[in-house]
Amino acid sequence: MSEDLDHTDTRDFDDATRGLVAELDPPAITDGNGRVVWDIESYGFLAQDCPDTAHPGL
């Protein structure tokens, strides 16, 4: 299925980064008590290759 996708079309990536001011450092958002409420690093699994059992367009 992956071969059916147009991997040369980067418009979505271009749109997602347009206007980006800065990346979070540290990559987390905390509440007033210092408790982490959003951890960007928890999405690191998205950088891995898509398993053969999943549709590559997801």
Q: How many domains does the chain have?
A: 1
Residue 58 lies in a domain: no
Average pLDDT of the segment spanning 25-32? 93
Residue 36 lies in a domain: yes
Residue 19 lies in a domain: yes
pLDDT digits 0-9 by tens, 6-26: 888 999 888 888 888 888 888
pLDDT range class, residue 34, cuts 50, 70, 90: very high
Residue 53 lies in a domain: no
Task: Give me the pLDDT at residue 1, please.
Answer: 63
Residue 15 lies in a domain: yes
Task: Give me the pLDDT at residue 29, please.
Answer: 94
pLDDT digits 0-9 by tens, 35-58: 999 999 999 888 888 888 888 777
Domain that holds residue 24: 2-47
User: What DSSP string runs through 22-55?
Assistant: ---SSSEEE-TTS-EEEEGGGGGGGGSPPPTTS-
Residue 38 near residue 29 (C-beta atoms within 8 A): yes
